Amino acid sequence: MKPRVNVRLSHKAHALLEEMTLKPGVHKSAVLEAAFWAYVDPETAKESDGIILKRLNQVDLRLNSIERDSSIVLETLGQFVLYWLTRTDPLPDGERDVAHRLGQRRFDYFVDQVATKLGASGGLSSRLLDPLKDDRSNL
């Protein structure tokens, strides 16, 4: 039989303890004993720190990947807009309605193609980013 210990907690800590022990099989004694060992045993704290650091490193790698991918998308869009604005002549007034309808059809087709490629694994982004994946695995 284990010795009995009376502990006084703040209302906030007690409420959190009560919430943690609502799950079946989780007892207040077990939670408090685990917290005690984590407090007095530096090895336990190091293990927890190691797990947290590993997860933070994974998050950092993912964020760096997202940042790089966003830069690629932004640069691609910027280059396209620059090219389009510098190479496209203005339309005469009589041809604007026809050009608008044609442009709308082309845009709808473009959106359908993007949706299709995003659903497939062989889209443009995978062709652009696959060579860069090797760089990420070396980190």
5 belongs to a structural domain: no
- SS3 assignment, position 45: helix
Whether 60 and 22 share a structural domain = no
- 10 has pLDDT over 90: yes
Instruction: Give the separation between CA 103 and CA 52, rounded to whole angstroms.
Output: 51
- Select the more confidently predicted residue: 98 or 48: 98
132 belongs to a structural domain: yes
34 belongs to a structural domain: yes
1 belongs to a structural domain: no
Structural contact between residues 28 and 53, judged by C-beta atoms closer than 8 angstroms: no
pLDDT of residue 114: 81
50 belongs to a structural domain: yes
pLDDT averaged over every residue in the chain: 83
Whether 82 and 101 share a structural domain = no
DSSP 95-116: GHHHHHHHHHHHHHHHHHHHHH
The distance from CA 90 to its chain's CA centroid, rounded to whole angstroms, is 42
2 belongs to a structural domain: no
26 belongs to a structural domain: yes
**pTM exceeds cut of 0.85:** no
4 belongs to a structural domain: no
- SS3 assignment, position 26: coil
Which of 35-39, 98-102, 110-114 is the most confident on average? 98-102
- Structural domain of residue 18, as residue ranges? 11-40
123 band by pLDDT with thresholds 50, 70 and 90: low
Instruction: Give the separation between CA 59 and CA 39, rounded to whole angstroms.
Output: 27
pLDDT of residue 45: 65
